[in-house]
Chain A
């Protein structure tokens, strides 16, 4: 290893250089998505494409650049030269998230030796295909979606390749705008490349290479140490992505073994003819950032973060689609769902691991699978055709943390602070022919629990100042809500409605292209949310009352779900006790009810260790922490001894929300979200439990 002080100085400088690159992109790009919202990234890779450091707001993008560099090395590795500039946007061949996310990659040479790469990416306003903006729910093949480049040189040996620019400009709308934004990526790459060359001159290319390897290794070693604190075994979780009436299974089994995490998604549904198919490198990139935020928020994010886990997908499945399947949003919808399901399994593992440093950051997963972006096109305020992306539908409510209520209208609860900005009402109304009537966190329970989820966005706008608009909806979580953890209730589902001029209100299905909107018609958006954490009856009454005062929930909800009668401590205590009794009365008996016997007490000897939130393993017996009631004997699932209530809360007709009760107290230990007819969607099976033998 090189000197630790030199290493830290080099890390500081690498970080500064990557940020220089990202700032350069923001400063020189024109489109609002890049220049204003900062939808761009700049990352530095080693000669093989391993991520060293990233800059810019879109952290989930950093690792996808490795995919591009590896593809370039495969296709053009023999002919690389200083002054080469590559462009790529094909998710099937070295791209970023989707075709709109154009990547520019530049090799970095020191004395004719390849020493690294820089990759810059930003969201382009249009990359061709059947509709403006290249978001097309109606597309059934990737050819209809966008114009895709495999890695091609836009400059060769320092010479600009005009032919490539001509092909690009000929196949997209808004070519001037897109060209400038792509040039801003080139400028970001250039600044970064020069910074690295200077660094290599200062320290020597060999020292720089050694430092790069050390930085990756140190993150990996520390991440691995933290993974080794997790209980070995298997943890699984299932969710579904929806397309109107269809359901697509997104399952994950996490295996913790030998200091490594394996997220196995091979049981996912076959690829679909819808835009939301995904790719393993996309899931890896999304998941890595979340795994990093949970296990290593204080460590530099680099390839080392990614080396401690593996993602397994089956080619031809939803998560490893093959052409010509459409691939317009592999990082939203299904992709987000896959990373959430993965994080759910990781939280199951942390909950079963007494020594894990990540216990302080246990939380429901991100709620990005509920993001419902939509586009509007039509005649704009200046009388000319216009089109834009409304991001307000993407402001979902955050899943609850194990010790806190999170914020509203943002999909992540853990991370580094970079959030996509909400655009001011006046700005939206000045640009587009709509009038916003209201906007704010969605009232109601959302994901209720001891700690509740944040609220998704609720808004209403009316078409105003144009004859009509055409709307395209790309949503999810209409029927299957995001599950909570530790007895927390599921989150709210996405709801879109249209208010006709006669006042009648019709629901809208969330995957639709070309919905006509007339002047004066209103759109009502209610975004989904993540789930709660812990039994709502355990929520501090003062916190429930504050939610009522803050107009988040009604007094009726406070009473019905939280068992709180505002301002009356005694009645609250009585009501909560009554609700617990009622639950046990209503419940179906457990699969394998247990009562304490002398033999069972003998089997339960041994040091206690957590198995799930509120569930402990004593010897070979799982026990409710609160009531001390026995739940199961190894290797059965701890849920086997829980009385259950099906359809515990109201939901869509094909969804079953099942409550698992503490037989000793009636409290909620877990609340499962599953399709009607499906089995339990979560399972905790650490080796410590499955191999426990009765004494």
Chain B
């Protein structure tokens, strides 16, 4: 028996997915934030119960162990990391605190974003390299040693970030400084900007080095888990799911812990991409609609799109990550009345505690979930498989009380909350369409998370999407992502040459990168036959900041081919009249992505197809489909839907932890990979 295991260690629950290539099992176990191993082993134990094996037997038979972890995310969210010292170019010690003039609004005031390094821990070195990489002032090792000594002894610094101007052109000064520190204080982690991200723009390169140093201790728990698993008989290395949607070894993660900063959302988007591909809708918006936020990522041709910079706790940093845009609206969003006397929903959330009023944990302000229960969209008796009793009357009273001020009944208020929540969540999806220049008719929406299947279908319908997908594995999607993501290594090199390229130097740079990546894959145990390389180029008009990332082949680094690719892609995204014919085009960066194919979990197998398209509803539920009308809506058991079945909306599909709302003028059916697809009638008049 060869098993593939995927684990997602979340804040509340640890999800485990296990597959033998034929069948897939899943389990949930409470997370112990002090010891990840408890939740992971607990989950594995529950899997073992399902297949009649001890945890040791499961682990011994595991040929792939993927882990998505919030270890680094938690260090950042709680803002408790190492005492970082920063060495930078003299004269620019304040750039980190100036933060490119970014401001965050707080009750009307404009405040600076968080910064983990107090100003006295930032030291300028009298060195300077110019735009060509030539040394203007050499670095003095003694100055470095003296500054480091003082930072360690006086400021208690226990991790270093080194980032000098133009180090991506000439990394010698950073290397010298790092060697000085490592040779004197071998136990202290040191991170260099040029090593982590050898690309122009010092601010985001410096923040990347700084945040890596800050989170340098975050992997201790992961290594402890790995050791425990090895003791229990695990024969393969842990594969950690990184922010770019691939995996890496724990040794590689030590080199750059920040790669794990958005491990969770990346895992979800990676799994969603797989679901979309199998369902035959390779381009989709993937919407994680949870209790507090809606996170939207774009999947193109079965791959989650990445961004070359992301924001971490308000700090912009040069981390390649699955590009997730977030808006504060979800099931836990609280409804309130503003000073103009209008009903509003969010952005304040009741979160897990106290949670919605109906949870009976002390919440008094009505949330979106309370409204959905009251309106009949969620069956209170079947919530969490009937294991959690809901206080429907409490939700009703809370809505009634809020509505009093507006002259509304409880139901009218609840319906208003639903409508406003739809508009707010729709904003996140719309923003993604407009900033990406996407045509919704060509895209699907993949919905997951607690509120996903109730809200995504009507939003997708209103915005003119082709279909809305609800994966069966929705509730453990991130764990599934950890079980399916390939090993992925990525390196880039700045080129900054005008097109057409005048010589073969860009190709040389690419070949050198391929060699580096080849060694990385080799060191992580990927056999030659399982390695795959792909190449990307970042192209732009001269001096343009936003770059167009395109997939290329080696041959494209010849003649006018890059220019053609740029023109084609640019006009495809921005419209025919956006192209400046005479403006020079540049190749700014080349990137090599190495992937190691590995054994992976498969989506649940399809059960035999149904004979007819008709499926009898199990029951009917009264649902408020408009503000003053209750309709009897057929309710189906999601588990009974087979291939060939076609269910006309309006309808509700229930399963243990999810309810799917199929709006009027749409049809839901099952497709490959056990994914439900809701398609919207094209001709309907909205």
Q: Is the CB of B544 within 8 A of A35?
A: yes
Q: Is the CB of B98 within 8 A of A440?
A: yes
Closest B residue to A361 using CB positions = B108
Q: Indicate whether A409 sits within 8 Å of B101 (C-beta atoms), given known contacts A177-B583, A183-B577.
A: yes
Query: What's the Cα separation between A187 and B412 when bound, in Å?
Result: 39
Query: What's the Cα separation between A180 and B583 when bound, in Å?
Result: 11
Contact of A429 among B111, B112, B131, B581 (CB under 8 A): B131
Interface bracket on A: 35 or more
Q: Is the CB of A218 within 8 A of B581?
A: no
Q: Is the CB of A12 within 8 A of B427?
A: yes
CB neighbors of B among A281-300 (8 A) = 293-294, 297-299
CB neighbors of B among A413-471 (8 A) = 413-422, 424-427, 429-431, 435-441, 460, 464
Q: Is B119 an interface residue (CB 8 A)?
A: yes
Q: Is the CB of A16 within 8 A of B430?
A: yes
Query: What's the Cα separation between A440 and B104 when bound, in Å?
Result: 20
Query: What's the Cα separation between A299 and B419 when bound, in Å?
Result: 21
In the complex, chain B residues whose CB is within 8 Å of the CB of A26: 435
Q: Is the CB of B111 within 8 A of A439?
A: no
Q: Is the CB of A298 within 8 A of B339?
A: yes
Query: What's the Cα separation between A35 and B573 when bound, in Å?
Result: 15
Interface locus among A17-25, A131-139, A627-635:
A17-25
Interface locus among B44-52, B88-96, B380-388:
B88-96
- Over the window 367-396 of chain A, the binary record of Cβ atoms lying under 8 Å from chain B Cβ atoms (1 yes, 0 no) is 000000000000000000000000000010
Q: Indicate whether A297 sits within 8 Å of B108 (C-beta atoms), given known contacts A28-B575, A218-B342.
A: yes
CB neighbors of A among B571-586 (8 A) = 573-575, 577-583
In the complex, chain B residues whose CB is within 8 Å of the CB of A222: 339-340
Q: Is the CB of B119 within 8 A of A409?
A: no
Q: Is B531 an interface residue (CB 8 A)?
A: no
Q: Is the CB of B107 within 8 A of A297?
A: yes
Smallest Cβ distance from B78 to chain A, in angstroms?
24
Q: Is B437 an interface residue (CB 8 A)?
A: yes
Q: Is the CB of A183 within 8 A of B578?
A: yes
- Over the window 579-597 of chain A, the binary record of Cβ atoms lying under 8 Å from chain B Cβ atoms (1 yes, 0 no) is 0000000000000000000
Closest B residue to A12 using CB positions = B423
Closest A residue to B420 using CB positions = A8
- Over the window 321-359 of chain B, the binary record of Cβ atoms lying under 8 Å from chain A Cβ atoms (1 yes, 0 no) is 000000000000000001111111000000000000000
In the complex, chain B residues whose CB is within 8 Å of the CB of A297: 107-108
Query: What's the Cα separation between A28 and B110 when bound, in Å?
Result: 29
Q: Is A13 an interface residue (CB 8 A)?
A: yes
Query: What's the Cα separation between A167 and B120 when bound, in Å?
Result: 57
CB neighbors of A among B95-146 (8 A) = 95, 97-98, 100-105, 107-112, 118-120, 130-131, 136
Smallest Cβ distance from A33 to chain B, in angstroms?
10
Q: Is the CB of A30 within 8 A of B101?
A: no
Q: Is the CB of A7 within 8 A of B342?
A: yes
Q: Is B166 an interface residue (CB 8 A)?
A: yes
In the complex, chain A residues whose CB is within 8 Å of the CB of B416: 4-5, 8
Smallest Cβ distance from B672 to chain A, in angstroms?
34
Query: What's the Cα separation between A425 and B131 when bound, in Å?
Result: 10
Q: Is the CB of A36 within 8 A of B109?
A: no
Q: Is A408 an interface residue (CB 8 A)?
A: yes
In the complex, chain A residues whose CB is within 8 Å of the CB of B582: 176
In the complex, chain A residues whose CB is within 8 Å of the CB of B105: 415-417
Task: Identify the interface centre among A5, A218, A297: most chain B CB within 10 Å of its CB.
Answer: A5
Q: Is A549 an interface residue (CB 8 A)?
A: yes
In the complex, chain A residues whose CB is within 8 Å of the CB of B406: 4
Q: Indicate whether A32 sits within 8 Å of B544 (C-beta atoms), given known contacts A9-B419, A12-B424, A426-B166.
A: yes
Q: Is the CB of A4 within 8 A of B341?
A: yes
Query: What's the Cα separation between A20 and B104 when bound, in Å?
Result: 22
Query: What's the Cα separation between A416 and B203 when bound, in Å?
Result: 23
Smallest Cβ distance from B463 to chain A, in angstroms?
10
Q: Indicate whether A219 sits within 8 Å of B340 (C-beta atoms), given known contacts A183-B577, A184-B578.
A: yes
Q: Indicate whether A417 sits within 8 Å of B103 (C-beta atoms), given known contacts A218-B341, A298-B339, A427-B200.
A: yes
Q: Indicate whether A180 sits within 8 Å of B546 (C-beta atoms), given known contacts A409-B101, A419-B110.
A: no
CB neighbors of A among B354-410 (8 A) = 406
CB neighbors of B among A171-193 (8 A) = 176-177, 180, 183-184, 187, 191
Interface size on B, residues (CB 8 A): 74
Q: Is the CB of B435 within 8 A of A408?
A: no
Q: Is A412 an interface residue (CB 8 A)?
A: yes
In the complex, chain B residues whose CB is within 8 Å of the CB of A30: 541, 544, 578, 580, 583
Q: Is A360 an interface residue (CB 8 A)?
A: yes
Closest A residue to B577 using CB positions = A183
Q: Is the CB of B120 within 8 A of A293?
A: no
In the complex, chain A residues whose CB is within 8 Å of the CB of B581: 176
Q: Is A519 an interface residue (CB 8 A)?
A: no
Q: Is the CB of B578 within 8 A of A425?
A: no
In the complex, chain A residues whose CB is within 8 Å of the CB of B543: 32, 431
Contact of B580 among A180, A187, A202, A221 (CB under 8 A): A180
Q: Is the CB of A20 within 8 A of B420?
A: no
Q: Is the CB of B423 within 8 A of A414?
A: no
In the complex, chain B residues whose CB is within 8 Å of the CB of A335: none
Smallest Cβ distance from B157 to chain A, in angstroms?
15
CB neighbors of A among B54-111 (8 A) = 90-95, 97-98, 100-105, 107-111
Q: Is the CB of A36 within 8 A of B545?
A: yes
In the complex, chain B residues whose CB is within 8 Å of the CB of A180: 577-580
In the complex, chain B residues whose CB is within 8 Å of the CB of A294: 108
Q: Is the CB of A20 within 8 A of B430?
A: yes
Q: Is the CB of A5 within 8 A of B544?
A: no
Q: Is the CB of A5 within 8 A of B343?
A: yes
Q: Is the CB of B342 within 8 A of A4?
A: yes
Q: Is B246 an interface residue (CB 8 A)?
A: no
Query: What's the Cα separation between A407 and B106 when bound, in Å?
Result: 13
Q: Is the CB of B341 within 8 A of A20?
A: no
Closest A residue to B90 using CB positions = A438
Q: Is the CB of B427 within 8 A of A16?
A: yes
Q: Is A515 an interface residue (CB 8 A)?
A: no
Q: Indicate whether A360 sits within 8 Å of B107 (C-beta atoms), given known contacts A4-B342, A36-B545, A438-B92.
A: yes
Q: Is the CB of A16 within 8 A of B342?
A: no
Q: Is B568 an interface residue (CB 8 A)?
A: no
Q: Is the CB of B202 within 8 A of A424?
A: yes
CB neighbors of A among B426-440 (8 A) = 426-427, 430-431, 433-435, 437
Q: Is A27 an interface residue (CB 8 A)?
A: yes
Q: Is the CB of A439 within 8 A of B92?
A: yes
Q: Is the CB of B420 within 8 A of A412?
A: no
Q: Is A128 an interface residue (CB 8 A)?
A: no
Q: Is the CB of A23 within 8 A of B200?
A: no
Q: Is the CB of A5 within 8 A of B426?
A: no
In the complex, chain B residues whose CB is within 8 Å of the CB of A293: 108
Q: Is the CB of A424 within 8 A of B120?
A: no
Can you give 21 contacting A-B residue pairs, CB < 8 Å? A8-B342, A8-B423, A16-B423, A16-B431, A19-B430, A23-B431, A28-B574, A28-B575, A180-B579, A219-B340, A294-B108, A299-B339, A408-B97, A419-B101, A425-B92, A426-B165, A427-B201, A441-B98, A549-B119, A549-B120, A550-B120
> What 7 A-B pairs come out closest when comparing CB atoms?
A438-B91, A440-B94, A297-B108, A5-B416, A36-B545, A12-B423, A417-B105
Which A residues have a C-beta under 8 Å from some C-beta of B?
4-5, 7-9, 11-13, 15-16, 19-20, 23-24, 26-28, 30, 32, 35-36, 176-177, 180, 183-184, 187, 191, 202, 218-219, 221-222, 293-294, 297-299, 360-361, 395, 398, 401, 404, 406-410, 412-422, 424-427, 429-431, 435-441, 460, 464, 549-551
Using A23-B434, A417-B103 as known contacts, list a sample of 11 further A-B pairs with CB atoms less than 8 Å apart, ordered by residue number in A: A4-B341, A8-B342, A9-B420, A9-B423, A12-B424, A28-B574, A410-B110, A415-B105, A435-B130, A435-B136, A438-B92
Which B residues have a C-beta under 8 Å from some C-beta of A?
90-95, 97-98, 100-105, 107-112, 118-120, 130-131, 136, 165-166, 200-203, 338-344, 406, 412, 415-416, 419-420, 422-424, 426-427, 430-431, 433-435, 437, 496, 541, 543-546, 573-575, 577-583, 627, 686
